[in-house]
C-alpha cells in the first residue's frame, strides 16, 4: 500500500467486480410458466415447452414442483398477488373514499383491457379451463374470487349503497365482463367505457 493512499480508497475499490446474482432454476421456471400460461392457456402449454424456454431440465422442474398442476397453482398464486398489489395501490390512493378507490382501479383496467395481447384475468381463465372443484388451479382461482367478492361488498357498504351486497356483486360482474370482452374487442370494445358504467351503477345504487 502506498503511503499517500488512504485505506478507505482501497476498501471502496475492490480488484474484482461483484458477481451477478444467478437466477435460480425454480425462478426461471416460474417466470417462463407465467408468461406461457397467461398467453396460451395452462392446458395448451406442455412441460417440454416450459423447460426449453426456461433453459432448464425436466428434473429441475420436478424438484421444484411436484407436477404441472402444482406449477399452475404457483403461477396463479403469483398472479393473485400481483392483482392485489394493483388493487391495493388504487385503494391507498384514495383513503376513506371507496367509490374513488374502485373507479381508480377500473380506469386502469379499462386501459389494460383495450390493449393488444390482453388475455383477461388469469384466474378466471383457469377456472374455465379446470371445472373440477378439486383441481389445485381452480382452488386458487376460487379463493381469490371469493375474497374479491367480500372486498367489493365491503366497499359498496362504505359507499353508502342501499343494498351493498347487490352492488358489490354487480361490480364484480362488471369486472368479469371486462376480462372476457377485452379479449374480443380490443381498443374499440366495452372496456373503454368501463369506468363510466361503473360510476353510473354506483350512483344509482346510492341514490344519486
CATH code of 22-65, in short, is 1.10.10
pLDDT band at residue 154, thresholds of 50, 70 and 90?
very high
- When pLDDT is averaged across residues 161-181 and rounded to a whole number, the result is 97
Q: Model confidence at 23, in pLDDT bands (50, 70, 90)?
A: low
Question: How many helical (H) and strand (E) elements, i.e. helices and strands, does the chain have?
Answer: 10, 0
Judged against a pLDDT cut of 70, whether residue 20 lies above it is answered with no
C-alpha cell of 70?
402444482
What crossing angle do the helices spanning 122-129 and 136-159 adopt, rounded to 10°?
130
Domain ranges of the chain: 22-65, 69-208
Is the CB of residue 129 less than 8 Å from the CB of residue 116? no
Q: pTM here?
A: 0.84
Please state which of the four CATH numbers 3.40.350.10, 3.20.20.120, 1.10.357.10, 3.40.50.450 is assigned to the domain occupying 69-208.
Answer: 1.10.357.10
115-148 residue pLDDT tens: 988 999 999 999 999 999 999 999 999 999 999 9
Three cell numbers written together for 120:
383477461
Amino acid at each position: 500500500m502506498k503511503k499517500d493512499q488512504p485505506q478507505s480508497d482501497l476498501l471502496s475499490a475492490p480488484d474484482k467486480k461483484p458477481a451477478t446474482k444467478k437466477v435460480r432454476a425454480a425462478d426461471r421456471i416460474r417466470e417462463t410458466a407465467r408468461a406461457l400460461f397467461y398467453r396460451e392457456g395452462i392446458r395448451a402449454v406442455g412441460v417440454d415447452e416450459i423447460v426449453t424456454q426456461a433453459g432448464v431440465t425436466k428434473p429441475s422442474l420436478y424438484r421444484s414442483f411436484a407436477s404441472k398442476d402444482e406449477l399452475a397453482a404457483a403461477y396463479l398464486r403469483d398472479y393473485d398477488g400481483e392483482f392485489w398489489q394493483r388493487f391495493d395501490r388504487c385503494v391507498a390512493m384514495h383513503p376513506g373514499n371507496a367509490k374513488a378507490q374502485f373507479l381508480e382501479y377500473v380506469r386502469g383496467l379499462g386501459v389494460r383491457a383495450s390493449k393488444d395481447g390482453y388475455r383477461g384475468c388469469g384466474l378466471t381463465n383457469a377456472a374455465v379451463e379446470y371445472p373440477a372443484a378439486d383441481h389445485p388451479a381452480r382452488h386458487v382461482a376460487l379463493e381469490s374470487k371469493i375474497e374479491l367478492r367480500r372486498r367489493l361488498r365491503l366497499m359498496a357498504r362504505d359507499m353508502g349503497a342501499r343494498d351493498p351486497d347487490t352492488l358489490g356483486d354487480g361490480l364484480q360482474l362488471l369486472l368479469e365482463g371486462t376480462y372476457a370482452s377485452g379479449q374480443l374487442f380490443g381498443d374499440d370494445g366495452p372496456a373503454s367505457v368501463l369506468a363510466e358504467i361503473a360510476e353510473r351503477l354506483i350512483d344509482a345504487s346510492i341514490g344519486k
